[in-house]
Structure 1
Amino acid sequence: MSESSAASPAAALVTENDLLAELLAGADLTLEVPTCPGWTLQQLLRHTGRGHRWAAQMVASGATEALDPRDVAGGKPPADDPATGAQWLRDGAGELLDAVDAAGPDAPVWTFTGPKPAAWWIRRRLHEATVHRADAAIALGVPFEIDPAVAADGVSEWLGLLAARPAGDEPPLADGASLHLHATDDGLGHDGEWMIRGEGGRVVWEHGHGKGDAAVRGRAADLLQGTLRRIPADDDRLQVLGDAGVWTTWLARTGF
């Protein structure tokens, strides 16, 4: 999880991916996913499992540029069988962990944010599985429960991706504007608060408490879903203080 966390991203990836697989194993895969417009659960399964293999194959080859997803070996799940599709999903996460172990966690590899150690992909795929588990839970009408530390690290990982983006014409925060996120779960401490600012058209952030132009409070699970636009900006699970427009503009301009 976060670089300061003692928890294992590899173990968390297995746990989160298994929970997603369990949801899909008994599901009607033709069901539409409201939070991924145009997708069914089958497409969500294929996207996540192929993504694990995509990362694994780049790690294994020491890739210096992105692999075309169409070239991913084993990139399609077994057709029309939720149980075998779920196992295919589990196997994909295993392939990534095996690839990182074989290459070494510090081996350089292509990522969205430039060359990084191979272990970077474990954390990235952990949070991809986490968010798509939320998508599946929403589609199936079941609660999305997650360890608060994993959810909080998901927020941090997402902010790290946003901070790596170059300046654009429509930055998420105007220069000097600020947004404070505060997880209300017990025990998160420093890892459960984020101060985010706009600087030169880019996003900068750090853990900590402070007064922002807007503040959003809620459980880490709900902040994760809120920042990734899985629940509405004004959802009752989130308390928005200050200038709500800062929060809604941020969400409108932080699509992936």
Structure 2
Amino acid sequence: MTSLAHDRYCDEILFQTDALRAAVTGADLTARVPTCPDWSLRDLVVHVGGAHRWAGEIVRTRAAAEIPDEEVPDAEGPGGDDPGALDAWLAEGAAGTVAALREAGPDTAVWTWAWEQRTAFWARRMAHETVVHRADAALATGTVYEVVPDLAADTIDEWLQIVAFSQAEGDPEAAELRGGGRSLHLHATDVPSAEWLIEFGEKDFTWRRAHEKATVALRGPLTELMLAFNRRQKPDEGGLEVLGDRDLLDFWLDRSSFG
């Protein structure tokens, strides 16, 4: 399920990329990224730009199987240390991917690594990939970070789908997110109806939009809630508060991973 329109996701890829570019303009590209400590700012930009080009190549070629990274044109970023060249490369990659997504529309069959084998998946995934990594750039550079409510909420929805898919595929950490009688409530205090109830079953977990008492609740502004749920900040930062069993929340955060 996707909650936003295909064209909206395409628009957000461009908007979020431009905001990421603004966050790193003038910054020291050798500086480490606290939320991705193995990366410099330049590594972060190259990761995002490479992901854009990889998804764009899958859509452009109507790939029926995964395309190896080394077969994606210009995916490694420009040589040298020119910030202007890196900025132009990032912008060009996002624009090319969005052009391919718009031309294909949402329903063209293509390979994906997940539950949905059509281009709509890549539009949504690249929008949220850029949303979250823009947060990494903002946190590294001390720049302002804001996300509109419907996009922030959809980022949480997609992340829940990714973790559930990882669990179904046998990821050993996600497999531990089970055990009946426990639940986690996410409650955005600034956006009506932006609430999620995650319930641990004996074999897996399920979730739904609901306001109900849970074993533990994480509540606060929606953008901050999204950042904490994506492990970009601690659950007690950014005006967030934890009510109930903090160990269960930490258990979830420690075991919800990307692949």
Q: TM-score, normalised by structure 1?
A: 0.91
Alignment of 1:86-165 (within 5 A): 86-165=87-166
Q: Which stretch of structure 1 is more off in the superposition, 177-186 or 143-152?
A: 143-152
Q: Deviations over 1:122-162 (max 9, x none)?
A: 11111111111111111112232222222121111111111
8 Å contact kept, 1:214–1:243: yes
Superposed CA RMSD in Å reads: 2.1
Shift in Å, 1:3: 1.8
Report the equivalent of 2:40.
40
The separation in 1 between residues aligned to 2:6 and 2:68, in whole angstroms, is: 34
**Deviations for 1:195-229, whole angstroms, at most 9, x for unmatched residues?**
11223432321112111111110111111110111
Q: Please say if 1:60 is aligned against 2:65.
A: no
Change over 3 Å in CA distance of 1:50–1:236 after alignment to 2: closer
CA spacing shift, 1:14–1:33, aligned 2, 3 Å:
same
What is the letter of the counterpart of residue 197 of structure 1?
Answer: E
Indicate the residue corresponding to 2:20 in structure 1.
20
Q: Give the corresponding residue for 1:181.
A: 186
Deviation >4 Å, runs of 4+: 4-7, 167-170
Aligned to 2:226: 224
Cα offset, 1:90, TM superposition: 1.7
Match of 1:208 in 2: 210
In structure 2, relative to structure 1, the CA distance for the partners of 1:4 and 1:89 (3 Å cut) is closer
TM-score for both structures, normalised by structure 2: 0.90
Q: Give 1:168 shift.
A: 5.2
Q: Any idea what SS the aligned residue of 1:131 has?
A: helix
Percent identical = 38
Q: Which ranges of structure 1 fall in alignment gaps of 5 or more residues? A: none
Bigger mean CA deviation after superposition, 29-38 or 168-177? 168-177
Cα shift at 1:115: 4.2
SS in 1 for 2:44: helix
Q: How many aligned positions are there?
A: 253
Contact 1:182 1:217 in 2 (8 A): yes
The amino acid of 1:181's aligned partner reads: L
Structure 2 gap segments, 5+ residues each: none
